[in-house]
Amino acid sequence: MKFILTKELGRLAKWLRILGLDAEYFNQGNPSSLIIQALREERVIITRNHRLPKARGIKILVITQGQLKSQLTEVLEKFSIRPNPELMFSRCTICNLELEHVDKRAIKEKVPEYVFNTQDEFFICPRCQRIYWSGTHWKNVENTLKEIGSL
């Protein structure tokens, strides 16, 4: 299942990506472009906007909660998604692209020395070239998921 989130849900989009879900972010104002992209890419629209035009073949989840954690719970429950630890951090949180393995030696200059010395697996976003490693914010994510009861 793929998603597209409207502009007021940027943080939620980032969180869905952290969980490894394909979540595009639509930050323009034009609802018809949103509908077209959702149809073309078969994405479920997640929004807080009650007034989006209805269109045939489009699924829309209108988020009712204001807090990020409650919003995340709302999405996971609605679509019966259980976060898969193996998919977490497999996607760039900025670009939504899947990360690629990168040789440790190739990125020595791009990560803090401590990280280089303590981590073995590194990933890179093919678009923005941001480097990720397994330890990235893991504890933080784990704690949040425990709080909302999804892990």
For the bound state, the minimum distance from the C-beta of residue 30 to Zn ion, rounded and expressed in Å, comes to 24
Write phi, then psi, for 64 (nearest 5 degrees): -100, -20
Q: Give the binding site for Zn ion (CB under 5 A).
A: 92, 94-95, 125, 127-128
Q: Cα separation of 120 and 151, whole Å?
A: 25
For the bound state, the minimum distance from the C-beta of residue 137 to Zn ion, rounded and expressed in Å, comes to 15
For the bound state, the minimum distance from the C-beta of residue 69 to Zn ion, rounded and expressed in Å, comes to 24
Nearer residue to Zn ion within complex by CB, 53 or 126: 126
C-alpha closest to that of 26 among 56, 126, 90, 44: 44
Nearer residue to Zn ion within complex by CB, 127 or 137: 127
- Burial status of residue 84 (CB atoms within 10 A of its CB: 0-12, 13-18, 19 or more): exposed
- Burial status of residue 150 (CB atoms within 10 A of its CB: 0-12, 13-18, 19 or more): middle
Nearer residue to Zn ion within complex by CB, 33 or 129: 129
CA distances from 15 to 21, 57, 72, 107, 151 (A): 9, 26, 8, 25, 15
For the bound state, the minimum distance from the C-beta of residue 53 to Zn ion, rounded and expressed in Å, comes to 31
Nearer residue to Zn ion within complex by CB, 23 or 76: 23
Place of tokens 């879900």: 21
Nearer residue to Zn ion within complex by CB, 19 or 92: 92
For the bound state, the minimum distance from the C-beta of residue 95 to Zn ion, rounded and expressed in Å, comes to 3
